[in-house]
Amino acid sequence: MNDDSYTPIDCGVHDQLELACMRGLAMRLTTESECLTGVPLTTRTSPERAEWLVFQLASGKREIRLDHIRKLEPLDGRQTSEPIVFAPQR
């Protein structure tokens, strides 16, 4: 897979991600190379059909390609939201 190839995520995971955006709760997002703290706002699809998460950080908004995300988990252990685990990357 080259860096430009997008691998769609599972529909069930996408549904969980949309719910996380609707809830607007602070979450920890983990990719292969970093861990970020913020609030998931929405998803968008690029003209090339890759899907992105718009994630609000303290420093501003950032877009993260969905197939680069490993896990999204709530920061507050009392929240009813479960961690969202994305399929392992190749």
Q: What is the pLDDT of residues 2-30, one digit of tens each?
A: 457 999 999 989 999 999 999 898 999 99
Higher pLDDT: 34 or 79? It is: 34
Query: Is the residue at 1 inside a domain?
Result: no
Residue ranges making up the domain that contains 61: 11-85
Query: Is the residue at 73 inside a domain?
Result: yes
Helix (H) or strand (E) holding 17: helix 11-23
Please count the structural domains in the chain.
1
Nearest CA to 68 among 19, 5, 22? 5
pLDDT of residue 79: 57
pLDDT of residue 77: 65
The CA distance from 9 to 59, in Å, is 27
Model pTM score: 0.84
- pLDDT tens track for 44-84: 999 999 999 999 999 999 999 999 999 999 887 655 567 77
Check which CATH number belongs to the domain holding 73 and give it: 2.30.30
Burial call 7-40: b when 16+ CB within 10 Å, e when fewer: eebeeebbebbeebbeeeeebebbeeeeebebbb
